[in-house]
Amino acid sequence: MWNLILITNNKIMGLLDFLFGNSKEKERQEELERQRIAAEARKAQQRKEEQERQARIKKEQAARARMMTIEPFVFKSNCHQRYEGAYPKMGLQECLRTVSVVKNTNGCSGYQLQPGDGYIIKIFNDDAGKPNMADKPMRVVRKTDTSVELRGYKVNALTPFGWQEIDLADYGLLVHYENGKICKCVLHMYDRNTFIEYRTQSNDPLKSVSSNNGTSECEEYAKLAREAAANGNTSSAQQYGLKALNSIIANPSQLKCIANVDSLALALGKMMEGDHFRDNDSIKRAVGLTYYMLCKAIAQTNKQHDPYLFVYRFSVIWEYNQVFYHLFAHSEGTSYNPNPYDIFGQSSTAVYDHHMQGMQMGDMLQEPRIARLDPALGNIFNQMYAQYRTTPSEQIISLGNKYHKQVYDYLCRKVDSLDFDF
């Protein structure tokens, strides 16, 4: 009997094992199926993410390709100015030159180029009826809303000794736009620290203005200067800015009741892009009044500043650093002696150079749009900043503002007394 019970129990246990074993196998198979479905879902998600990533890469590449292009153009210049070491040389040359940027479709004579790579820069002397320089292949290296920068690169060129690799990176072309129109082209020869600005000078007669409805004469001229600049007429904008300056000099009391400080500051800043002064006294007066108005506009609080206020202030300090040596000295109650044999004079020059670098770097750090609006100034900043990368930005800005204030306070005292002998 006990044997029968044992056999029966074994059969029951076997049946239960069979039933539960099938159930566990079923669960295992179901778990495997769930894992397979989850793995397929992950793979599908990964494929989707990879497709999206590739699409983003293509979009970014297309955007970069668009950024690295420039619409080919022909710019007719009727005047140009040569600068060596940031100083104008030989005066404004009123003669015809044609600056062309041509898409490289079939290469360029004298060079081994890949068709479609970059552009060919041509400058033609219309007066002599011949090229002003050999054609230069360049690529777009930077593009902003208001400028495009092209730079030469290493190519194989035909020389008297056969085909040789030469580096054309010493050449660059900076194209400036105002409201979508080309206002000037600047050919840079970096190895010689030289550049030539090709501009257009308007022959349209300038309007005459007078004080109107409480607005001073200089502000009326500033208003016309801003209108001309907005229309892409750089020459007229600078001429009206010059008229505003001359109006201030003729009637200094106007500065005591300027309603639109920004407008006058921007008009004078635009004027300083040109080459309108020959004697030192005129240059000092123009630089001093322009810098004074730019600082006055920037000092206004609770307002959104026009970035060009900083662009012009940076540029004026860079191009007229000799004037700022004197301004710093006068602000300290001394005079500046540029005699190279004067040890104290050399020491002052080094100190003032340091001050000006702080002013310019501080402006760039406060208003980074300067580099986008004028890439040449961005390059200048990068060269300066390389020496001070370990210095905290807040410290540079603080020192820059301190030196700006030192010169501005001195100019305020002079202007308040209507004395423009800076």
The verdict on residue 165 lying in a domain is yes
pLDDT value at 220 more than 90: yes
Going from the C-alpha of 371 to that of each of 71, 86, 358, the distances in angstroms are 22, 18, 16
Query: What pLDDT is recorded for position 411?
Result: 97
Query: Which tops the pLDDT comparison, 416 or 278?
Result: 416
Residues 233 and 370 in one domain: yes
What region does 86 belong to: left with phi over 0, alpha with psi -120 to 50, or beta? left
Mean pLDDT of 253-270: 93
pLDDT (tens digit, 9 = 90+) per residue, 150-200? 999 999 998 888 899 999 999 999 999 887 889 899 999 999 989 999 998
Question: Number of structural domains, the chain?
Answer: 2
Q: Dig out the tokens for 331 from the structure.
A: 């602000």
Integer Cα distance of 300 and 303 in angstroms: 7
Smallest CA-to-CA distance from 96 within 122, 78, 73 is with: 78
Among 199, 233, 249, the domain-final residue is 199
> What per-residue confidence (pLDDT) applies to 347?
78
pLDDT band at 303 (very low <50, low <70, confident <90, very high): low
CB 119 within 8 A of CB 138: yes
Do 370 and 222 lie in a common domain? Answer: yes
Per-residue pLDDT, 298: 94
pLDDT above 70: residue 340: no
pLDDT score of 202? 76
Residues 267, 164 share a domain: no
The pLDDT confidence band at residue 124, using thresholds 50, 70 and 90, is very high
Task: Give 52-96 pLDDT, tens digit per residue.
Answer: 888 888 887 776 666 678 999 999 999 998 988 777 787 788 899
| pLDDT given at position 258 | 92
357 and 238 fall within a common domain: yes
- Domain annotation covers residue 241: yes
pLDDT(9) > 70: no
Task: Say yes or no: 225 and 374 in one domain.
Answer: yes
Please name which of 63, 158, 149, 167 lies closest in space to residue 101, comparing C-alpha atoms.
149
Q: 232 and 99, same structural domain?
A: no
> 236 and 365 share a domain?
yes
Domain that holds residue 166: 73-199
Looking at the structure, do residues 226 and 127 belong to the same domain, yes or no? no
Same domain for 335 and 260: yes
Decide if 329 is inside a domain.
yes
- Per DSSP, the three-state class of 136 is strand
Of the two residues 14 and 422, the one the predictor is more confident about is 422
Query: Could you tell me if 286 and 324 lie in one domain?
Result: yes
What are the Cα distances from residue 124, in Å, to 90, 133, 134?
Answer: 20, 7, 9
Task: Name the average pLDDT for the chain.
Answer: 87
Residues 6+ away with beta carbon under 8 Å from 169: 151, 152, 153, 154, 190
What pLDDT shows up at residue 316? 95
Characterize the bridge pairing of strands 194-199 and 147-152.
Answer: unpaired
